[in-house]
Structure 1
C-alpha cells in the first residue's frame, strides 16, 4: 500500500515579525522519523516537562493521540511569552485549533533566589550560555520546572479532556523546544534571556567588588580634624647644598661598531654638564634662548680642532640635517661664530641699516689709510675689486669678510674691531684680489 501522505497544514499563523525579548516564535517541527520515535525529550529538564504533562493528565488515550499528532508534525509554529505557550494544531477538521498552555510566572522573590543561585558559581552561567540547565538550579528553592497539574491547557476544540489531544501535542513539542534551549523555560517563567544575562553580570560584578573589598587591608587609623588643622610650627628647611665649583668631567664613552661617535657623545655630555652647572650657580641657562640653528652652530663651533676630519664631517652633516641646512651653511656659520659668537652669526646672516655716525665715518678712515673707496650697502662696505668686505655689527664692531672676486661667496676672516682699518689687519694685500 502506498504511504499515507501527511495532512496538509495551512500557511502558518505565527507572527515572528512581532518577536521581542519577551516573545519568541519557533518554526514548526517536521514529522519525526521511525528512528526518532523513542523518547520525546532528551534532556533531564525536557523529560521533567513531559513528566509534568503525563502525570497531570486525566486520560492516557488522549495523551497517546496527542503524541501521535506531535510526531506527525500537526503542530504549527510555537510562540512563547511569559506564562504562555501558543500554537495552532491541525486536528481531524480542516481548520486548525488554537491551543494555549499556561504556566505560572515566578515572583520577584523567586527570581532573586534563582539569580543568587545562578551567580554563586561561574559554571552556572557558562552552562546556560551552552544551552544547558544545571540540576542544582532546579533545587535552589525556586519552582523552576512544572509539576503535575501546573500546566493549564486551553483549546478551541469541543473536547473537554484535560488535556485534549491538541494541547497534549503542543506540550510534547514544547518539550523539544526546552531540549534545545532552556531559556525557553525561563521565558515561560517570566524573564527573557538578555534580561537574565544582564542581571547575572551585575551580580557577578557586585560579588567581585565585594570580594576585592574584603581582601583589602584594614584602613589606617585616622586623625581628628582638629588635630590635623591645629597650628604647627614646621622646622625650617635645611640649607641647600653648595654647588660644585666646576662641572664634573663626563665618563669616557667606548666606541662600538655601528654606534654613535664617542667623541661627539663626550662633547654633548660636557656641554650639558656646563649648562647644568651654570643653571645651578646662576639660575640662568646661558644658551637657553638660542634657536635650533644657533644652538647647532654653537655645538659645531665648540668642537675642538680645525679642518673637516671624518668625525667633524659626520657631526656637521648630522647638525645641519637637524636644522634643515647644508654642511656648507654650517661651516660658514661656524666661522662666523668663532669670529664673534652670537653677534658674529647675526652679522653673517642679518643685514641691517645702521644709523648715521660710525658707519659714515668708516669710509674716510679707510681712504686715510690709503685704501680705495669701499662701496656701501646697508651695513656693509665692499672693496671695489670685490674680494674684501667690512660689516658693521649692532655691537659697534667691524667684521671682516673675504671672497673670491665676483663670486659673492663671503667668509668671515680676522678679529672684529672698533676700527674698520684694524678689522682688516692681517688679511694680506688689500689692493690685489
Structure 2
C-alpha cells in the first residue's frame, strides 16, 4: 500500500515482507539501481548484510521524496537505525529537456503510464543530457549507525527500493525531483502547446489576404537559393493499416488475420527505421546484418497479437512449437543477440572465466556460494533450476529450467552475480 502526502511530493510504502528465494529486481531498471549500489560500495560484506536484512523483512516503511529515500532498518538483534539514501535531483533545465523530449514521443508517455521504463526512453533522455538512472557513486548513504560508507542498513534500503522501482518507475522520477501528477500535467501542457500554435493565424496573413512579393525583387534574387527546410519529424506513432474486415470472402490461400498482422508489423518497423534515420549521427552507425529466415520468423512470431497468428507466420523456423516459444521469449529480451545466446554454445576465453569466477567468489561468504557446473559459456547451479549464459558481447543472460528445458528468464547484465540473483538462486543463508 502507498500513502501520499501534500502534492504528491512524498510517497510512503509499507514495510517489506520476507522474500526468501527470489531476486530483488526483475526489470532492467531495477537491476541498474542495484548495480549502482554494488559497484560503488567499498565494503562488499556490508552489501551482503544488507541483502540478508532486506530479504528477512527488516526494512520498515519507505519514504520517498525528491533527492532522498528514508526507512528504519532493524538489525538482527532488534536495534533500529534510520537509513537515508540520497540521489541528486535534476535541475530545472534538464527537466525541461526531458519533458520536451518525452512530449514529442507519445510512446514514452504511454510506457510510463504502463509503469514501464523502456531502454530507448532512458537512451533518448541521455542523448538530451539527462541521466535518469544512478551511476557509479550517485547513491550517497547516511545512517545513524555512524558508518561513512554504505552500511548494512543503507544497503538493505537500496534492495527494498529496487523492489519498489520494479513496480513503479515513477518512484525514480520522484527521487530525481518530479512527482507523478506534476510530471504528467507538464507533459500534457507541452503536448497541447504545439496544437495551439498550429491553430494560430499564419505569419504573413493580414485581413484574410496573403501578403505578396514584389516581382522585381523576386527576379533579382532568382540566383540565390533559399536554405533547405529542416528534416520533417517522424509521426509519434506508426499509422494504422487498413482493415480487411469486409463482407467479401477472402481469396483461396489468403489468411486475413495474418495479413493484417503483417501490415501492422510492417508499419511499426517502417516507423522505427524512419525515426532512426532522422536521429543525429545515424549516418555514422554501422548497418545491421540482414536477418536470416529463421531470425525473421522469430521476429514475426514475437509480435503475435493473438495466439496462433505469429506461430503460423513463424513457419519459416524449424524449431517446432516449444522451440519457437523459447526463441520468441529470447527475442523479446534482446533481439538477435539474445537469440544467439539461446542457440549457441562456445568455449570461453580463460580471462573472461577468471573475471566471472572472481566476481562470484567475492559475492558470498564461503559455504553460502551456490555450486556451479561449468560447460563452455553455460554455468548451471548444481541441484537448482538456474543457469547463466555468457554472450559473445560479454554480458550474462539468466536462464531458468521450465518443464525440463532451459528458458530465457530476463534481460542481460554485465555482472554475473546480479543475473544469478535475478533467477532466484538462493545464495544467502
**What TM bracket, shorter-length normalisation?**
0.3 to 0.5
TM-score for the superposition, normalised by structure 1:
0.45
Identify which of structures 1 and 2 has the higher relative contact order when contacts are C-alpha pairs closer than 8 Å and 6+ apart: 2
TM-score by length of 2: 0.45
